[in-house]
Each structure stands twice: as C-alpha cells, then as structure tokens.
Structure 1
Amino acid sequence: MRAVASLAVFLVLAAVAGAGWFLSLPPRIGHPAPAAISDEERRATLAAMRPKRERPMIAVIGINDATEVTDYLMPYGILKRAGVANVVALATGPGPVRLYPALAVEPDMTTAAFDTAHPAGADYVVVPAMSRDDDPAAIAWIRAQAAKGAFIVGVCAGAKVVASAGLLEGGRGTTHWYYRRAVERIEPTLAWVPDRRFVVDARVATTTGITASAPMMLTLVEAIAGREKAAEVAARLGVSIWDARHGSAAFTLSRPFATTALANRFAVWRHETLVLPVSDGVDEVSLALVADAWSRSWRTRVVTVAPGRVTTRGGLRLHPDVAEASGEALPAAGNEPPLRLLDATLAAISARLGPETAAFVADQLEYPADM
C-alpha cells in the first residue's frame, strides 16, 4: 500500500497548494489505436530474449514486507500456465510475501535457498514493484543474477529496483507512467522510449504499468517456445495482441484522475470492505487482477476469506486475511480468461462506484481500455 499512499500524499499536498494546480492538469484523453509493431522490431525482441537452454529457469523475486500483487502473481501465473520453463517465486527472507494493495502468499523459497539449489543462477529474473526501491538484499541478489548472465525483466515500477541495481545505466527503457520521473532520478542516463508497452535492451527488459506483465510474459513464452505456444496461452488469458504497441500519451496525471483520487480518498463515509472468497486451485492471475482493481478504487478494501491456507493453481500457498467474514462478497475468480475478468471487474466498479472511478483504476493499472 505504500506506493498508493505516496500517490495520495502527493495529491493532497498538491491540492493544498491551490486550485491553480488542478487547472494546470490536462483533461483525460481517449485511447486511440496504437501503431502496430514492425516485424523487424518484433523479431529483434524475440532474438534478444531467446533462452540459452531448452527449459530455462525463471525466478520471480519479491521482498517480504511489500511487493505489488499483480507484478508478482501475474508473471508467475502466466509462466506456470505455459509450462515451458521451471518457475519459482522467491522472497528475500523467510515467511510470507505481503503483497500490496492486497493478499499475502508463501513463496517457493528464499533467494538464499535458490542460490544453494541453483548456483549457476536463473536464466530470467522478474522484478516487480516493491515498497523499497533500494532493498539491500534484493539489489544484491539481482546484481548477482545479472552477473551470472540472467536476463532481467523489470515489470511496472520494478524498473526503479532495476535502476537502483545499476542495470539501466546508459540503456533504453520504460516504466509505469506515474513513476517515469522517479526512474529518471535514479538513473538519469536512461533513454525513455514512448509508445512501447515493454522495451528490451540487451539483457534487460522494462515494462509500462501493471497489466503490461501480460504481453511481456507472452513475449517471453514466444521467445522460449514459439508463436503457436504463445498464442495458445494468450487465448486462455483473453489476450489477442501481445506485441509492444502502446499509446503512452493516454496515461498521465489528468484533472479527472486527480479529482477522483481526492474525492474517493476523503469520502470516508463511502468507504467499504468487500469480501473475496478464495479456494484451492484459484488462478493467480485472476485473483491478482480482481483484488488489485477493487483495492485501487480508493473507496474499497478487499479482504480474502477461506477457512485455512489455500493452494493456488500454480502451487503457491495463499494466506487468506480471515477465516470468515461478514459483508458483501465479490464473485470468486472462476474459469473466465483473466483479462476478460478484468474487463468485467472494471465494469462492476463502474456500476458500483461510477465510471470516473473505473477509469481511475484503469489508469493506475495502465490498462488500455476506454471507460
């Protein structure tokens, strides 16, 4: 929740500064269809990401106290679905990984245990957004993996962590629209690449906001196992296009975004807690998207409920918030393709909280859907 809180503090301080600040913000613009990516660029991206062995090892790292929920669970869930690599979820220390803005999971192992089991290192390392961009244990481990030859993927604001590790120096990249300046402060030599949902530069990839994990991971699946396999996984996710096309101009700190943020934050009498039932076999991607989207309305808090620990579809152990709870229950994440479930969730947010809040959530997720 720290990233959400920092945005809230910024908006409050800016509001106090005066109405002039609000008037200086641009209106929200639509989402015109972005230009397709050339075959040449797509082939170059895939070539840069090709594995060095037939079945690579992929590690998703998190820090225990706060790692972004979709950044951590979506790559893991997509890659587990694909079945083309050995995939492990890691934490820098023992115990569960507390995810924000909701959920907690037990990782497969610690980074120390991984190093013992796999001294040659991972082939790919996925770096989510974390509450601390310069966590010493995470930074040291990411640097060590890069030195061993791992391909590093910084998803969303995970680019700040990758930058703090010194891996974006003199390179090209991107990040979540809200954190562009923060990444540039950490690594001023980084060349910003607009209108790309992800950027591959040598042995490092970075992505735009939260939902960009889907096209990034599908591109990784394609690099490992070919386009036919990637298309099969994409269909099960509800994704039709997974290249790097993106319309960066549609995502910015607009006047409607700021107005909705402040209105929802301060309307405490309208805040509510929603119950999300979970059970064994729950899909990590669907669960993350539903919990993330509702939690980012700034009016609703999501509480997961189950009588005991739950094992997800990919094998992670989920720590439910409570064993039982009263309150309005959200529909359990079922077998619907996860990205179509996100569309349905945004529609439900629009119906319950209003279209401006749904657009506010979509902007935070950097999800290219016009509300």
Structure 2
Amino acid sequence: MSMIPITRPETGDAEIAAATRVLRSGWLTQGPEVAAFETEFAALVGSPHACAVANCTNALHLALLALGIGHGDEVATVSHSFIATANAVRYVGAEPVFVDIDATTLGMDAAALATAITPRTRAVLVVHQVGMPCDLSGLLAVASAHGLPIIEDAACALGSEIRLDGAWQWIGRPAGRIACFSFHPRKVISCGEGGMLTTADPTLDARFRLLRQHGMTVPDTARHGAAQVIFEQYAELGYNYRMTDLQAAVGREQLRRLPWILERRRHLAQRYHTELGQRVPSVTLAVQPPWARSNWQSYPVWLPAGCDQRAVMQAMLDAGIATRRGIMNAHREPPYGGHAWTLPVSEAAQDRIILLPLFPALEEADQDRVVTALAAALA
C-alpha cells in the first residue's frame, strides 16, 4: 500500500527547463531571473513592489528591521505559528507579545490584540495561518487606532483572497505595510526555498534590497553590466539574504501553474468538506468566513474534545497516511517558556487539530482512503 504524504510539490518539465536555462546562462546567483520573478509576483498579487530573498524567515527579519523595530520594543504577534515568526522578532532584539487566536480563522483575534498593546508595542505581526486569511479588517482597525504598522506573515497564503472595503484582493497587496511569503516545499508553490516581501512603500522596498545584499550600495547586476569601473560601498551592516536565479527561474514557472494549483486545492478542500461531513461527523471542519477565500495550503480538522491526537495520527500512519498535528505554539518551546501566557484557543488548536493530506496531485481515491482511515481511527 503506497504512502499518502501530507503534501507533494507540483513540478515538471517546465521547471527542469527553467533550471537548465539558468545553468547554461552562466549567471546563477541573484540576477535577471530574480528581477523577473519579482516583477511577475508583484503584478500577480497587486503590489507596487516585491523583493525576493532566500526564505520567509529572512523576509520577516528584514520587514522588522526596515520598520526600525529594535531593542526594548515589543511586537504583538501570535504564538500559534511556526517558530520563525517569533524568532524574527527576537532577531532584531525586540520581544514578542503573544496574542490568542480566533478558533475559526486560526489567525490573531482582534479583541485580544486590543488588550495586548502596551506603550512599548511598535508593530503588529499577524499570520494568515494554513492559508486562511486572518481578520485583517478588525486587526487593521485596532492597529490604526494605536498608530501601529501591520506586517503580514503570509508564508502560507499565496493565492488566498480577502474582501476589504467592499472589494476582493489577493493577500500580499498588501493590506498592512509589508507582507512576507514563503516558497518552501510545504507551500502552495515552491522553488525549494525562497521568500518574498511586498509593499506599497518604495522607501521600504529600497531598504529591503540594500539589506538583503550585505548593505552593498551597488548591486552585482549593475556593477557587472557597467561600461566603467565601479567601486561599491558597504554603508551599514547587511545580510546575505539573496535568492538565486536558479530558484527564481523555477518560481516563475510555479507562478504560471498557480491558477490550476488553486483550483485543484479548492476542489479537494470542498470534497473533504462533503465527505467528512457525511462520514466523520464527530470532527469539526474548517469554516471559511464570507470575507475570505483560502488557498487551502493545509486542511485542518478539529478532533473531538478529549480525543488522543497522537493515537489518531499513529493509526493513520499505520494505514499509510501522513498527517501533522495542529500548528505549534512558540510559547511552549524552551526559548519562549519564561512567561505564563494565557492562550487557551492557541493551545487547543495545537492539541486538537490535525492536518490532512492535500496537494494538487492527490487522487480522489486516495482522498477517500484518508477519510476512511480517519473514521476508523476515531472509531
């Protein structure tokens, strides 16, 4: 019996041809493919600017740096996220203040944010978890009332949409000051690793570009293409956060696949809704708010209260089906364990949710196997 993985990247001959083109070009690091990827990505999500980096953790780090967040500052964010979200706050010397989540969207709860803001709060870092848009309208209202910028951790949310001010827009336009994306293999599109920052602010975009390349005042592309000798300077501490042209070329092909990937993921998610609703009524299914359209980067289900999450996952693994537990909580990990946080919904989501296999190549017969195995495990 074949193993059904939690996900599988959708790649093929187009990506192989793109990588081959770069290898034959003689330019492998950040160059013309990265520039083209940035332009195409910005156009897709509706953002004036997009800056590519090596991964989404780099993107979060640069976003905080560019906004001037530093030692002594606090950033309101969620514990219920991959630990990179909280780590990026610590990278700049600030402290994360963890805010509980909404059980429907798994994103930051706007009412909880309002009570978490202190005189030291300098930014709000929200997460569109498992591709489901968080309540940006409510969160923006709270942040704006306190004069705080919002950074969107949109690592999982490429292709997701949200209705703001009566109009639909893609996550990444962005609604806040900056949005950060990931191209890790668990995400909707992938080039192995990679990240992207989008913003409407040209000053922030220029800052990202300076900091991602060691603070070098003259990019490689400009220096190598110049008719005269140019000596670059390094005006401040920067970082080696560059994306390679190999990654970008693959990413460009992945963008071309995205419409079909989104269509397929949404079809499979709807099929899970139907089959699980009929055959496994004891689980609580994900609900898509009327103002949100998820890309269904992952498909979460809430197990019944008191259910042994590990035992259910093991039973499914024994049946040849990979699952993952609910999204981790950073405050439960040693680097963030020194504070008695009260985050009941975040903790319940980690302990009671499991993520089911969902990827474009998932066959309906295999999806039926997943549903059957979950029903058996709960029985």
Q: Scaled by the length of structure 1, what TM-score is found?
A: 0.40
Higher relative contact order, structure no. (Cα contacts within 8 Å, ≥ 6 residues apart): 2
Larger Rg over CA atoms: 2
Q: TM-score, with normalisation over the residues of structure 2?
A: 0.40
